[in-house]
Structure 1
Amino acid sequence: MLDYNRNFLKSHYGVPFSESPRKISFCTHAIQSPESIFVIPDARKDDRFKNNPLVTGEMKAIFYAGVPLIDKGGHALGTLCVFDHKPRTLSDRQKNTLIALANQVVNLFELHRQNLENKALQKNLLKKNSLLKDFAGVVSHDMKMPLANIITTTDLLKAKYKELLDEKGLDYLNYLKSSSFSLSEYINGILLHYESDNLTINQRELFDIHDLLEELEDLLNADYKCVIHLPETNHLINCNKVALNQIFLNLIGNSLKYSDKESPEIYISVDENDDFYLFEVKDNGIGIAPDKLGEIFDLFTIATDKDKNGNRGNGIGLSTVKKLVTNLGGKINVASEIGKGTTFKFTARKADIPTQISGPEYDTSKSYKN
């Protein structure tokens, strides 16, 4: 590498020093040469080098070949070069090889620079993301209490002044309460989205997948009349239970909210291979338009204007699901057909332990259908 007044060797072999004055450097000539490779077969016969201390001294640099290291901006940073103590010539193949190696050196310099920039950018993004999470947490917390007050006050107004309000006045109060609930759900979604960063693949516990799904089924059946078909085969899962619970809660909840059937049905299957748990959630709901499938996992993107109760979604749930699946070392994809239903498939990376249950305590013939 060359700077204003010195030639320093970033990497070298067979040379007894790490830098020398630029004024005696062979490489100074190489980076100024219009040729792609600069070759001196015998420096003792070249007027530019015959009195050079690198030639006449202990180093005895008789032969030299150097290729300029030229960056994307066209600047010669230094050279990749070879010396010998006796005269030499290079074949075309040797020249092309040296040129190819020099190009690789430049590529490595560029990758190293890019890596340093990416690390700096990542550090900056992590800092900004942390500040954003803190901001979201503080703002969300500060908004929850006023919203709760609005909802409570609305109920009090309806109870106390119902006789004094006409139908339109009651509609206003109902709208106020509904909007407050929507905003509260939105705030909870944002908090969950940022808190999902803390749920990682390394936070594992051993649990029966049926236990988790049956708990969710009881919770969701309180609000929706539905049939949820659980997996017929039992699996013991070693995974982040909180993350998996949140994934299923979002996917099953969406299937129920966006159903146009009198009896919504959801089919859940679980399988595994050597490396991953394989999950599937399939419904018979309204489906998702083809032009929306590519963006439904984007934050604040809404696939359908309103759910079965007339409420508008906030576009946070599926984005959170994808983040959680990614944190579990897996991937998620979706297939859908308008009017027939939607299928989500996702994976989670396994730990190296057996997960298939067998034995008299588990009835694998049970269908687990409500």
Structure 2
Amino acid sequence: MITAAIPTNERFRLQALKSLNILDTEYEKEFDDITSLATFICGTEIALISLIDKDRQWFKSKQGLKVSETHRDFSFCAHAILDPENPLIVNDARKDERFRDNPFTQKDKIGIFYAGIPLVDKNGFALGTLCVIDSKPKELSERQLESLKSLANQVTILFELNKKNNDLEKFQRKLKRRNESLKDFARVISHDLKMPLANIISTTDLLKIILNGKLDKESMEYFDYIKTSSFSMSNYISDVLGHYESESLINNKPETFYLNDFLKEIVALLSIKPDFTIHYPENNPILECNRLALKQIFFNLIGNSIKYNDKDQIVICIEANEDEKFYYFKITDNGMGIPKDEIDTIFDLFTTANMVDRNGNKGNGIGLSTVKKLVEKLNGTINVTSQEKVQTTFDFCIQKPI
């Protein structure tokens, strides 16, 4: 018996193999289907997907063999990976000096015939083989060999897909940890900055009272500027916190409620002034959905319809429909509208249309991003159409509980 030589690129080959994170994983149907098909096509007793580790060969899939790994010194596949571009065919191992004294040939008498196709990754490293084995001498037809090569190609594709999925899962876990860190940061900011801002606002009012009549009009206006800026900063902090905490709303269980009663609660929270008219859905449907998440969506959309409205009389119309799977909502206002060149980015975080609200303040680009995130988490979609200086319509849907 001749032990296979170590490939010249062994260190890098092993790194490539380890990067797949596939060694010692559970058996998977996708790989087992391939080895099952290999035994059928080639008419052999055994088929293996064998990966050559440092001191062993480990089988990701096996047909007709009980053991899960063997020592590398006895491996036919260790010889096969030495020539990644060509299959290794051993018609009768008893006549081949490399294998005639191999335990699988002499003692177990299962390794008489062997055909192995190297499994080569995109960087050219032979990681192992797809091989078929039989206890009798055998020859494969050209068609059988080509089919075996095709199956081996499918194995390498599966390896790459598995690696991409693993990398994606790692990235998602990392992103989740980072998102949690941002949430924690937002909470700290909310706690540590909002209280000082409240102190600034109250101190500003106190100073105005104390200094009333002692400063000129322009100087007194600076206090109003400080107060307005402090309120804007406080609202900005609240919106950032709301954005990062919005995902927690998704975990709430569905509730059943009348839509119009629900909308009137939101209008009451917004402290609507008399110059406001809202038309509720005539059908007043009963909804069964995540009430708190939907509340956050409507609160932002109705709030925006009021803030970005330059008409003397604000008018908002809300429509609702449904089918077997989704609830559909439409909110139309007679406000400022959105410029055409900015409508495609209106849902991007921290992106705002180049306009100020009816009080002269510019938005922070958080509210609509939060709305879009919540809608998508509820397995829905949201779209906007707008005619500048005339109206804006938001259409969105959310999936019903399954």
TM-score range for the pair, normalised by the shorter chain length: 0.7 to 0.9
Runs ≥4 residues deviating over 6 A: none
- Listed as ranges, the gaps of 5+ residues in structure 2 are 1-50
Residue 269 of structure 1 deviates from its aligned partner by 0.9
Q: Which residue in 2 is equivalent to 1:2?
A: 52
Aligned partners of 2:337 and 2:390 also within 8 Å:
yes
Does residue 267 of structure 1 match 2:306? Answer: no
Equivalent residue pairs, number: 352
Secondary structure, counterpart of 1:321 in structure 2: helix
Q: Which residue in 2 is equivalent to 1:115?
A: 165
Aligned partners of 2:252 and 2:292 also within 8 Å:
no
Q: Which residue in 1 is equivalent to 2:337?
A: 287
Aligned partners of 1:201 and 1:328 also within 8 Å:
no
Does residue 197 of structure 1 match 2:247? Answer: yes
The alpha-carbon distance between structure 1 residues 19 and 157, as it changes in their structure 2 partners (threshold 3 A), is: closer
Instruction: Say what the alpha-carbon RMSD is for the aligned residues.
Output: 2.2
Does residue 299 of structure 1 match 2:353? Answer: no
Q: Distance in 1 between matches of 2:354 and 2:63?
A: 66
Question: Which of residues 87, 105, 108 in structure 2 aligns to 1:58?
Answer: 108
Mapping 1:210-221, distance limit 5 Å: 210-220=260-270
The alpha-carbon distance between structure 1 residues 249 and 91, as it changes in their structure 2 partners (threshold 3 A), is: same
Q: Which residue in 2 is equivalent to 1:366?
A: none
Q: Distance in 1 between matches of 2:275 and 2:232?
A: 22
Secondary structure, counterpart of 1:69 in structure 2: strand
Secondary structure, counterpart of 1:293 in structure 2: helix
The alpha-carbon distance between structure 1 residues 8 and 241, as it changes in their structure 2 partners (threshold 3 A), is: closer
Q: Distance in 2 between matches of 1:91 and 1:341?
A: 73
The alpha-carbon distance between structure 1 residues 90 and 340, as it changes in their structure 2 partners (threshold 3 A), is: farther
Q: Which residue in 2 is equivalent to 1:360?
A: none
Does residue 173 of structure 1 match 2:223? Answer: yes
Aligned partners of 1:325 and 1:347 also within 8 Å:
yes
Which is worse superposed, 251-260 or 48-57? 48-57
Amino acid at match of 1:330: G
Q: Distance in 1 between matches of 2:359 and 2:200?
A: 22
Aligned partners of 1:268 and 1:280 also within 8 Å:
yes
* Deviation by residue 1:208-264 (Cα, 9 ceiling, x = unmatched): 110011223344463462221111112111122222112111111111211232322
Secondary structure, counterpart of 1:227 in structure 2: strand
Mapping 1:150-169, distance limit 5 Å: 150-169=200-219
Q: Distance in 1 between matches of 2:70 and 2:375?
A: 56
* Deviation by residue 1:296-329 (Cα, 9 ceiling, x = unmatched): 2222111133112110111111111112222323
Mapping 1:253-264, distance limit 5 Å: 253-264=303-314
Aligned partners of 1:36 and 1:99 also within 8 Å:
no
Q: Distance in 2 between matches of 1:252 and 1:219?
A: 11
Q: Which residue in 2 is equivalent to 1:145?
A: 195
Sequence identity, in percent?
Answer: 51
Q: Distance in 1 between matches of 2:68 and 2:262?
A: 65
Mapping 1:17-32, distance limit 5 Å: 17-32=67-82
The alpha-carbon distance between structure 1 residues 184 and 224, as it changes in their structure 2 partners (threshold 3 A), is: farther
Q: Which residue in 1 is equivalent to 2:35?
A: none
Question: Which of residues 131, 136, 146 in structure 1 aligns to 2:181?
Answer: 131
The alpha-carbon distance between structure 1 residues 205 and 19, as it changes in their structure 2 partners (threshold 3 A), is: closer
Higher relative CO (Cα under 8 Å, sequence separation at least 6) belongs to 1
TM-score by length of 2: 0.81
